Amino acid sequence: MITFLLWNTRGKNLIDPVRRLVSEHQVDVLVLVEPGGSKGVLLQQLNSQPGQLYHFTTSLCESIDIYVRFPNDFIEAVFESSRLTVRRLSLPGREEILLVATHLPSLLYMSSESQPAEFFELSRTIRQVEEQRGHSRTIVVGDLNANPFDAGLVSAAGLNATMSKAVASRMTRTVQGRTYPFFYNPMWNLLGDRGPGPAGSYHYRRAEDVCYYWHLIDQVLIRPVLADLLENDGPRVVTKAQDIDLSRNGTPYATRFSDHFPLIFSLNI
C-alpha cells in the first residue's frame, strides 16, 4: 500500500506540521503545492526518526515539491512544466503508475471562461504521456483551483472526471465522434456535510450573489483501472497534524498554517 499526502502550504514554512502529518499517517509520497521554507531542513526533519529515509525528488516544476520514502530510482519525471510534473512510479514487483501533480491557475488571476482551456491542455498532456508509456494507470493530485463540478473537470475534453465509479468503469465516452477516457473523481463524496471531515478543503467567502463558502479544489482523480485500489473509499481531508489543530472555527487556520486543508489517500498497490 502506498500512502500519499497532498497539501498546498501557501508558501509558508510549515515544516513541523508536515513532519507530524507524514509521521502520523506513514506517508510514502508527500506532495507539497506552493511549498515554503527550506527543502533541506524539511528533509532533515522527515528523516529525524531512525530507520526513515525520505528523499527529495529534483524537479523542474517550481510550484510542487515531492518527497518519497523510497529511493529516487523508483520515481522519474516524464513530463514537467512550471505548474505540472508527471512522474512514473515503478516500485519493485508492482506495475508502473503515473503520478500527475499539478497546481492550476487560480480564478483570482484568470477568468472562469479561460479556466477550462487549462484543463483541456492538462488532459491532452496526460493522454500523450499515457500513450508514450503504454498504459493509463494514472493518478492526478493537486490544487486544481476548481471544484469537482466545474466545467474543466467534468467536460469530456477536460479531465472527463465523473462522480460515479460505475460510470467511470465504462472507460471512455464519445462526444461528437471523439472518444475521451474517464477519470473517477472520488472527491464528490467529500462535498458538503455527509463526508467524514469538513465540507471542503478550502474555505472562501465573498460578498457576492454566488458564494459556496466551502470548495474542494484540492483533488485526487484516478483512472478507472486503479479506482478499486483506493483504500477506505478514497481521499479524506485532514484537519489535524497529531495534536496540532490546523483549523480555527472549523475552517483552515490560514493565518497560522495554510488556507487549505491537507488531503490523504492510500492506494493498495
User: Is 175 an interacting residue with respect to another protein (CB under 8 A)?
Assistant: no
Report, in Å, the least distance between residue 65 CB and another protein. Answer: 6
User: Is 54 an interacting residue with respect to another protein (CB under 8 A)?
Assistant: yes
Question: 141 has which bridge partners?
Answer: 101, 220
User: Is 40 an interacting residue with respect to another protein (CB under 8 A)?
Assistant: yes
User: Is 46 an interacting residue with respect to another protein (CB under 8 A)?
Assistant: yes
Q: Is 71 helix (H, G, I), strand (E, B) or coil?
A: coil
Question: Contact with another protein (CB under 8 A): which of 1, 26, 44, 124?
Answer: 44
Cα–Cα distance, 192 to 200 (Å, whole number):
7
Contact 196, 236 (CB under 8 A): yes
Report, in Å, the least distance between residue 55 CB and another protein. Answer: 6
Contact 159, 123 (CB under 8 A): yes
Q: Which is nearer to another protein, 23 or 169 (CB)?
A: 23
Question: Contact with another protein (CB under 8 A): which of 7, 8, 18, 35?
Answer: 35
Ramachandran angles phi, psi of 147, nearest 5°: -85, 165
Cα–Cα distance, 189 to 168 (Å, whole number):
15
Tell me which stretch binds another protein (CB under 8 A): 40-48, 96-104, 121-129, 186-194.
40-48
Tell me which stretch binds another protein (CB under 8 A): 53-61, 75-83, 142-150, 230-238.
53-61
User: Is 179 an interacting residue with respect to another protein (CB under 8 A)?
Assistant: no
State the residue for C-alpha cell 512510479: 89
Which residues have CB under 8 Å from 254's CB, separation 6+?
A: 10
Burial class (CB in 10 A: 0-12, 13-18, 19+), 3: middle
Closest listed residue to residue 136, CA positions, set 63, 202, 223, 214:
223
User: Is 23 an interacting residue with respect to another protein (CB under 8 A)?
Assistant: no
User: Is 55 an interacting residue with respect to another protein (CB under 8 A)?
Assistant: yes
Helix or strand run (H / E) with residue 267: strand 263-267
Q: Which three cell numbers stand for residue 170?
A: 465504462
User: Is 116 an interacting residue with respect to another protein (CB under 8 A)?
Assistant: no
Q: Which is nearer to another protein, 65 or 118 (CB)?
A: 65
Report, in Å, the least distance between residue 103 CB and another protein. Answer: 12
Binding-site residue total for another protein (CB under 8 A)? 22
User: Is 17 an interacting residue with respect to another protein (CB under 8 A)?
Assistant: no
Cα–Cα distance, 137 to 89 (Å, whole number):
10
User: Is 142 an interacting residue with respect to another protein (CB under 8 A)?
Assistant: no
Question: Contact with another protein (CB under 8 A): which of 37, 105, 195, 197?
Answer: 37
Which residues have CB under 8 Å from 68's CB, separation 6+?
A: 28, 29, 30, 54, 55, 57, 74, 75
User: Is 156 an interacting residue with respect to another protein (CB under 8 A)?
Assistant: no
Q: Which of residues 57-76 bind another protein (CB under 8 A)?
A: 57-58, 65, 72
Residues forming contacts to another protein in the complex (CB under 8 A) are 11, 32, 35-41, 43-44, 46-48, 53-58, 65, 72
